[in-house]
Amino acid sequence: MVYGSTDKRATALAQLQDAEGGDPFKILIGTILSHRTKDENTTRATERLFSRYKTPQELARADPKTVRRLIRPSGFYNMKTKNIIRASRQVVSEFGGRVPDNEEDLLKIHSVGRKTANCVLVYAFNKPAIPVDTHVHRISNRLGLVSTKKPEDTEAELVRTVPRRYWLELNDLFVRFGQTTCKPVGPKCDGCTLRDGCRYYRDVVLPRRKTS
C-alpha cells in the first residue's frame, strides 16, 4: 500500500482506489473519513488506519482510542471514529462482511448518504453514478450546467442531462478542476479553458472588471 506513488493531482478516493485495488470496504471507510476535510488529510488518515485494520471484522472490534489516534489527520476524529466503527459493525452483521453494491443497501449503513453511496458505486464497483460533493455542486452551477441550491438537486439534474457514459469520470474530473482552477475563493478564470462558455465568468467576473 503506497499512496505516494499515485498521481499527486489525483483525488483521495482515486488514490485509495489505486492503492487498495478498489476494495469496497476501504473505499466506504475512506469516503466517510473524507467528510469535511482536505484530500491530503484523508489520504494520511486512511493510510494510517488501514495499516492497522484491514477488514470490516477487525475495524468492528477495534479499540476506539486507537482508531481516534490513527484517523486524527482527518479532523472531527471523535465523531468519525464512532461512525466508521458502527458502519463496520453493520457491514459485518447485516451484510456478511461484504459492502453492498447497490444504492438501496448502501444507504442503510450508518453515516452513508447519497454522496457516499455514489462514491462507493463509482470507485469500488465501477458502476455509473454521480457523487456530488462541494466541488461538483459549485462547478456545475458556475458553468451553468445546473441552477440548483442543494447537492441532491444538482445530482438529479446531472443524472438527467449528462450522458451516462461520462458518469464514472465526472466526480474525479470536477474535484481535480475545483482544486486547481475553479476554486471556491479566487478561481483562476484567466487560465481556464472553459471561461468562454462559463456563466460565472460572464455574469460575475466580467461585470466586476468593467466596474473596477
Written as tens digits, the pLDDT of the chain (212 aa) is: 433 333 434 578 888 888 777 899 999 999 999 998 888 899 999 999 999 999 999 999 999 999 999 999 999 999 999 999 999 999 999 999 999 999 999 999 999 999 999 999 999 999 999 999 999 999 999 999 999 999 999 999 999 999 999 999 999 999 999 999 999 999 999 999 999 999 999 999 999 988 87
Question: pTM of whole model > 0.95?
Answer: no
Question: What is each CA distance from 184 to 98, 181, 203, in whole angstroms?
Answer: 37, 9, 16
CA gap 113, 103 in Å, rounded: 10
Is 12 in contact with 92 (CB distance < 8 Å)?
no
Identify the structural domains of the chain with CATH numbers, from first to last. 3-123 (1.10.340.30), 134-211 (1.10.1670.10)
